Structure 1
Amino acid sequence: MEIKARGLTFDVYEGGPSDGDPVLLLHGFPQDHREFDRLAPQLHEKGLRTYAIDQRGTSPGARPADVGAYRMSEPTADAVAVLDALGIESAHVIGHDWGAVVGWWLASGYPERVRTLTAVSVPHPKALGLALRVRASQRARMAYFKLFQSRIAERFLLARDAAALRAMFQPIGATGDKYVESMQTEPGRLTAGLNWYRATTGGSPDSPGIIRVPTTYVWSDRDGVVGLTAALRTRDWGDADYQLVAMRGISHWVPEQAPAALADAALARIGLV
C-alpha cells in the first residue's frame, strides 16, 4: 500500500494476521523491503503483523534530491509518521543495516513508539564511533564510506554490469540480483541510497543516546563491516533488558542468509519464544 506522510509517499508492505501485534521492518542499503521476505512469514506464524517500509530514497514517491534530506533525523521522522498514518501507537522494530541505525534513533528519540528493538548488523552508533577511534581494523572495514560519499560512487558501482554491487552480494549469490537490477533501472534510486552515506556527519551531538527499550543486537562474525569491539560495546548504551546474539559463519546479509536464526532472536526479544 501507499502511505502519504511528511509530503512524501512511502510504499509499505503489510502481512500477517490483521489483529497481530505490529512489527515495523526497516531495510538497509542497497536493499529494500524484499530483504525480509524469508523472515516475515516466520513472524506471521507467531501471530504478528508486519509492515515493511521502502524507506526514503527507495520508495519512488519519497526520493528527495537534496543530500541533507537524508540526515538520520529524516528517515527516523518518516518511520514515526508512517506509524501515525497506520494508526499504530507503538511497534516492535526490526532493522537491518541503515534500518538498524533508524531503529537506534527511534528507540532513543521516541521510546514510547518502540516496544522492542532488534537491531541487525549495525551496532549502536556511539559504540561504532568508539571502535572507529580505537581500532584501525574498524576504520579499514569502513573505508568504503569515503567511496560511497564520493562523486564517482555511482559510476564505480554500476560499471561493468554493476560488478561492484554484485560483489557486495557474493555471500547470498543470485539473491542479490533483484537489488542490482533495481539500482540499474530505477532512475535516481542508487543516488538516493548513496545520499544516506553522503549525509552522514558522524559523532554529531544529536546522535542516539541511551536506549531504554528492551533490545537485542544481532552481530555476525563474517560481517565485513562491523568488528567485535563495536558489537561488544553496544551494551554500554542500553538501560533496559539487552542481549547480544552472535552468529557464526554468517555475513552482513543476515535476514537472507540466516532468516530462521534471526526470527528466533527477534521472537525471543518480542517474547514469543
Structure 2
Amino acid sequence: MEAFFRNGLRFEVLDQGPVGAETVVLLHGFPQSARSWAAVSRPLLAAGYRVIAPDQRGYTPGARPRSRRSYRLGELVADVVALIDAAGADRVHLVGHDWGDGVAWMVAATRPDRLHSLTAVSAPHPRAVVNAMLTSPQLLQAWHVGFFQLPWLPEAAVRARSGRYAVALLQRSGLSEHVAREYIDRLRADPGALAGALSWYRAMPLDVSAGRAAGAVTVPTTYVWSTGDTALGRRAAELTRRWVTGPFDFKVLDGVSHWIPEQAPEELAASISERVDGGADLPSEDP
C-alpha cells in the first residue's frame, strides 16, 4: 500500500513487511514525517512485523485542507481508522510520538475495538497533561504550543535566516543539527507543508473539550517517557497511569531527549516488540 484515501484526501504511506503479520502503525509528530521512524522500523521488520507509517494530515501533499476545523482530533482519529481499514486489518498495534502520540491516545480511548495495543511515546495521556498544568511547571514547559497557534508569526520564525533559528530551537530540545535541518528544510521547501503542520496547533482551541473528555484507555498500553524531555515533564508522565485501566507499563529512558525515535530507536523498538509480543501479559513497572 502506497497511499490510502479518506473524504477525497490522499495520504502517502510507507508500508513494509509481510501482509498478514502482526501490524504496527507508527504515527509521527511535529515537525517529523513517516521517514522519522526509519531507525525504529528496521528492528521491527527484522522481527517479522508489518510496519505502516503514514504521512499524516497536513504533512502529505494530497491531504492539506485549509480550514483549521479540518485538523480537530475527531478528524485525525478518523484518518487512523481509515488507514487501518485500508491496510485490511481488524486490529493493529498503534504507536505514536509527540502529536502522533496525542492522536494515538484518542484512538485508544474512543476506538479500542481497532487496537491490540498502544505504545505511547513522550506525550502523556491528555487528561494527565491538563492535570499537570495545574500542579507543576508543565504549562511553562509547553510554551511553544501557544506560540504555534498565533497567525503568521510561527511561519516567519521557521523561515527566518534560512531556517537557522528553527533548527537551533530543535537542537536545544535535543535533536541533532543534521536531522533538525532535514525537518526544517522539508517544511520550508514544500508549499503548504508548514501551514498544514501548524494547523494541528491552531485547531487546539476547537478541541479543548475533547482533550478534557478523553476517557480511560482499556487496551494494553506501554508509555515510554524520557528524562531529558524539555517539553513534557515528569508530573504529567507519572499521572498517566491514572487514565489507563488496561495492563500498563511505564518505561523511563534516562538522559534521552524528547526525540526518542531519532535518539533511542533500538530501545524504543524493543519496547514496542515487548508490548506486541507480550500483549495483556506484560507486567506494570514503576519508574
The answer (yes or no) to whether the contact 1:56–1:70 under 8 Å persists in 2 is: yes
Secondary structure in 1 aligned to 2:228? coil
Instruction: Give me the whole-angstrom Cα distance separating, in 2, the residues matched to 1:110 and 1:160.
Output: 43
Residue 94 of structure 1: aligned partner? 95
Residue 26 of structure 2: aligned partner? 25
Secondary structure in 2 aligned to 1:240? coil
Whether 2:258 is the aligned partner of 1:257: answer: no
Instruction: Give me the whole-angstrom Cα distance separating, in 2, the residues matched to 1:82 and 1:210.
Output: 23
Residue 6 of structure 1: aligned partner? 7
Deviation for aligned residue 1:37:
0.3
User: Normalising by structure 2, what TM-score?
Assistant: 0.91
- Once the two structures are superposed, what CA deviation does each residue of 1:197-246 show, in whole Å capped at 9, x if it has no partner? 11113641564210000001111011011001000000000111001111
Deviation for aligned residue 1:3:
1.4
1:204 corresponds, among 198, 209, 213, to 209
Residue 142 of structure 1: aligned partner? 142
Deviation for aligned residue 1:31:
0.5
Residue 246 of structure 1: aligned partner? 252
Q: How does 1:144-183 map to 2 (within 5 A)?
A: 144-151=144-151, 152-170=153-171, 171=174, 172-183=176-187
The answer (yes or no) to whether the contact 2:157–2:166 under 8 Å persists in 1 is: no
Amino acid of the residue matched to residue 113 of structure 1?
R
The answer (yes or no) to whether the contact 1:6–1:81 under 8 Å persists in 2 is: no
Runs of 4+ in 1 over 3 A off after TM superposition: none
- Once the two structures are superposed, what CA deviation does each residue of 1:138-195 show, in whole Å capped at 9, x if it has no partner? 1110111121111111001210111232123313220222211111111111111111
| Closer, same or farther: CA 259–62 of 1 in aligned 2, 3 Å | same
Amino acid of the residue matched to residue 192 of structure 1?
G
- Once the two structures are superposed, what CA deviation does each residue of 1:24-69 show, in whole Å capped at 9, x if it has no partner? 1100000000110000011011110011010000110000000111
The answer (yes or no) to whether the contact 1:5–1:85 under 8 Å persists in 2 is: no
Whether 2:61 is the aligned partner of 1:83: answer: no
Whether 2:133 is the aligned partner of 1:132: answer: yes
Residue 15 of structure 1: aligned partner? 16
Q: How does 1:258-273 map to 2 (within 5 A)?
A: 258-271=264-277
Amino acid of the residue matched to residue 177 of structure 2?
G
The answer (yes or no) to whether the contact 1:129–1:203 under 8 Å persists in 2 is: no
- When the two chains are superposed, the root-mean-square deviation of aligned CA atoms in Å is 1.4
Gap regions ≥5 residues in structure 1: none
Amino acid of the residue matched to residue 128 of structure 2?
A
Secondary structure in 2 aligned to 1:11? strand
Amino acid of the residue matched to residue 7 of structure 1?
G
- Once the two structures are superposed, what CA deviation does each residue of 1:66-87 show, in whole Å capped at 9, x if it has no partner? 0111111111100101111221
Secondary structure in 2 aligned to 1:208? coil
Instruction: Give me the whole-angstrom Cα distance separating, in 1, the residues matched to 2:166 and 2:16.
Output: 29
Instruction: Give me the whole-angstrom Cα distance separating, in 2, the residues matched to 1:54 and 1:89.
Output: 21
Amino acid of the residue matched to residue 266 of structure 2?
A
Instruction: Give me the whole-angstrom Cα distance separating, in 2, the residues matched to 1:7 and 1:267.
Output: 34
Secondary structure in 1 aligned to 2:75? helix
Instruction: Give me the whole-angstrom Cα distance separating, in 1, the residues matched to 2:193 and 2:81.
Output: 23
Secondary structure in 1 aligned to 2:238? helix
Amino acid of the residue matched to residue 88 of structure 1?
A
The answer (yes or no) to whether the contact 2:149–2:201 under 8 Å persists in 1 is: yes
Instruction: Give me the whole-angstrom Cα distance separating, in 2, the residues matched to 1:30 and 1:164.
Output: 14
Secondary structure in 2 aligned to 1:249? strand
User: Normalising by structure 1, what TM-score?
Assistant: 0.96
Whether 2:189 is the aligned partner of 1:188: answer: no
Instruction: Give me the whole-angstrom Cα distance separating, in 2, the residues matched to 1:164 and 1:260.
Output: 30
Instruction: Give me the whole-angstrom Cα distance separating, in 2, the residues matched to 1:9 and 1:80.
Output: 14
Secondary structure in 2 aligned to 1:255? helix
The answer (yes or no) to whether the contact 2:73–2:210 under 8 Å persists in 1 is: no
Amino acid of the residue matched to residue 228 of structure 1?
R
Instruction: Give me the whole-angstrom Cα distance separating, in 1, the residues matched to 2:75 and 2:104.
Output: 13
Amino acid of the residue matched to residue 229 of structure 2?
D
The answer (yes or no) to whether the contact 2:23–2:52 under 8 Å persists in 1 is: yes
